[in-house]
Structure 1
Amino acid sequence: MSETEPAETYDLRGLNCPMPVLKTQRRMLDMAPGERLRVRTSDPLAVIDIPNWCRESGHRLIESEKAEDGHLFLIERGA
């Protein structure tokens, strides 16, 4: 992941579409613009859903990488 580490990792492994996006959206509502959240998923559709959600909601997807047990996303909250 990035050299600038987020404050927390949100582990959403075991949840299927659309729950990873919905739970990420809810968690980010409590964050200030510019704060970062690392999201860990096991749902294969998250690779499509999370980037699309970031683009549509004004958040910045900083990194997306495959992990042994799924995928890791680093998201920066937009304004």
Structure 2
Amino acid sequence: MKGLRCPIPVARTRKAVKKLPGGSKVRVECTDPLADIDIPHMVNTDGHDLLDKGISDEMRWYLIKLKA
């Protein structure tokens, strides 16, 4: 999700994970610096697990395991 700003990365992530079975792992990538706050908050609020996160160039990524 390059170039998208808050709250679009979280909204699109929430929409996408609803289509996946519980226990799935998903990697979210975006350039929004506020995602460092928004994505972990969404993960915590929705009951998922944030397995890992990082930054590669300007792209931030988050590895999420969906609640079962």
Task: Give the TM-score band, short-chain normalised.
Answer: over 0.9
Establish whether residue 55 from structure 1 lines up as the match of residue 44 from structure 2.
yes
What residue identity is the alignment partner of 1:15? L
Q: Which residue of 2 aligns with 1:18?
A: 7
Establish whether residue 33 from structure 1 lines up as the match of residue 22 from structure 2.
yes
After superposing on structure 2, the runs of 4+ consecutive aligned residues of structure 1 that deviate more than 2 Å are: none
TM superposition shift of 1:21: 0.3
What residue identity is the alignment partner of 2:60? H
Number of aligned residue pairs: give it.
68
Output the aligned Cα RMSD: 0.8
Q: What TM-score does the superposition give when structure 2 sets the normalisation length?
A: 0.94
Gaps of 5+ in 2: none
TM superposition shift of 1:72: 0.7
User: What percentage of aligned pairs have identical amino acids?
Assistant: 35
CA deviations on 1:1-60 (whole Å, 9 max, x unpaired) are xxxxxxxxxxx1111000000000000000011101111110000000000110000011
Q: What TM-score does the superposition give when structure 1 sets the normalisation length?
A: 0.82
